[in-house]
Amino acid sequence: MKQIAILGSTGSIGTQTLDVVRQYPSEFSVYALSAHRNVELLIQQALEFNPAVVCIADESCYVRLRDALSDLPIKVMAGKNSISEMVTLPAIDVVVAAMVGYAGLQPTMQAIRAKKMIALANKETLVVAGEIICRLAQRYKVPILPVDSEHSAIYQCLVGEDRNRVEKLLLTASGGPFRTFTHDQMLRVTAAQALQHPNWDMGAKITIDSASMMNKGFEVIEARWLFDMPVEKIQVLVHPQSVVHSAVQFVDGSVKAQLGTPDMRIPIQYALTYPERWQSDVPRLDLFATNNLSFEAPDMERFPNLRLAYEAIEKGGNIPCVLNAANEVVNQAFRDGKCGFLQMSDVIAKAMDRASYIANPTYEDYVQTDAEVRRIALEILKR
């Protein structure tokens, strides 16, 4: 039985990971759960799955969590550093890194050092510090299995293939709710509109990133590190139907694609059971009902975040970290009604111009860069 730690268990990926565990209770055991501040849902999960450890990042929620679980033999921890401590516990086999944003970097690094298999849903970990993460994984011989639907699709297409024979990675994107909007229309869109993704059920931050195409930009950077692929070999295709989750083009001209319904439980289960495939109760793709699959090039004029992501990975160093930190600030500001939809890209571009450049950053440099850029982005927003 695999002992699983789920970081971000109350979020979209975390709750769907628990759905997979429910289907295979004799194969998976939940050893540890963590959440940011959704203490009530974390309590419900702990009561159902009876983990050995639970951790809440927001320390103000500690007393409520401790008191609710006081009758159970569950260790209760609090604070961001406690999550990094939790993942090193000897009994844990797999760490599902489902935390959102920069906060997932340190716990993932600690889990790798503790030689835990990583099921990676936190794309910001590789966006911010891809080189360090890949070096650590190689040093400690730790497998990183992607949970993102696009990267899981590419991973599946590459199984049994020689990666030197790859000509292109083809990352598909739904285009989000504003795919056909004009520039003038996007000037007036609201966070409520942006949160209505046409195909996928995701958390608020990722859904906004999807609407702005920053999510796809992050996935380009993530693919660069996950598959050791130069960025010029990674192409984004807008595919509104979200049936083809991604594909790989090989040097002989053939293309392998992975298709399925837009249900995150498929890539989650694949990461947890690899190299095997297990029965799943997710809805099946009906190819007879799928009579229109279309693909188009992304418009980087209307969606400049994708262009900014390509620029960040091409510049390298700490610039992808700059991109991520600025995006986290403006994403929250947009959700709070303090920033326009198109203004997000303007703030990110200015932050990338103003931030200090470090060609060969250490982890400490990333910490400093993240803090610096958040200050810069907030200053730009106040003007």
Domains and their CATH numbers in the chain:
2-146 (3.40.50.720), 151-315 (no CATH)
For every residue of 91-108, DSSP letters joined together read T--EEEE---SGGGHHHH
Instruction: Specify the residue for token string 């400690």.
Output: 140
**Beta-strand relationship, 75-78 and 53-56:** parallel
Judge contact between 297 and 304, C-beta under 8 A: no
Q: Write down the pLDDT at residue 383.
A: 82
List, in order, residues 6 or more apart from 279 with CB less than 8 Å away.
Answer: none
CA distance 99 to 129: 16
The pLDDT of residue 100: 86
Question: Phi/psi of residue 11, each to 5°?
Answer: -85, -175
DSSP secondary structure, 307-337, as one string = HHHHHHHHH-TTHHHHHHHHHHHHHHHHHTT
Query: CA dist 379 to 55, 214, 354, 383, Å?
Result: 33, 21, 11, 7
The CA-based dihedral angle spanning residues 211, 214, 219, 220, taken in that order and rounded to the nearest 10 degrees: 130
A 10 A CB-CB count for 31 gives 21
The phi, psi pair for 187, rounded to 5°, reads -65, -25
Which helix or strand (DSSP H or E) is residue 234 part of? strand 234-238
What pLDDT does residue 237 have?
A: 97
**C-alpha–C-alpha distance, residues 83 and 56, integer Å:** 8
- Find how far residue 60's CA is from the centre of its chain: 26
Per-residue pLDDT tens listing for the chain (383 residues): 999 999 999 999 999 999 999 999 999 999 999 999 999 999 999 999 999 999 999 999 999 999 999 999 999 999 989 999 999 999 999 999 999 889 999 999 999 999 999 999 999 999 999 999 999 999 999 999 999 999 999 999 999 999 899 999 999 999 989 999 999 999 999 999 999 877 666 778 989 999 999 999 999 999 999 999 999 999 999 999 999 999 999 999 999 999 999 999 999 999 999 999 999 999 999 999 988 899 999 999 999 999 999 999 999 999 999 999 999 999 999 999 999 999 999 999 999 999 999 999 999 999 999 999 999 999 999 98
Paired strand residues for 158 = none
Q: Check residue 291 and give its pLDDT.
A: 82
| Three-state secondary structure call for residue 8 | coil
pLDDT digits (tens, 9 = 90+) for 52-88: 999 999 999 999 999 999 999 999 999 989 999 999 9
Could you tell me which of 206, 5, 196, 26 has the C-alpha nearest to residue 96? Answer: 5
- pTM for the model stands at 0.94
The per-residue b/e assignment along 4-27, b for 16 or more CB within 10 angstroms, e otherwise, is bbbbbbbbbbbbbbbbbbeebeee
Cα–Cα distances in angstroms (integers) from residue 75 to residues 56, 61, 68, 83, in the given order: 11, 15, 12, 12
So what's the pLDDT on residue 201?
66
Amino acid letter, residue 383: R
Residue 297 Cα distances to 50, 101, 168, angstroms: 48, 27, 15
List residues bridging with 235 in a β-sheet.
Answer: 170
- Kindly report the length of the chain: 383
Look at residue 200 in the predicted model and tell me its pLDDT.
66
Residue type, 12: S
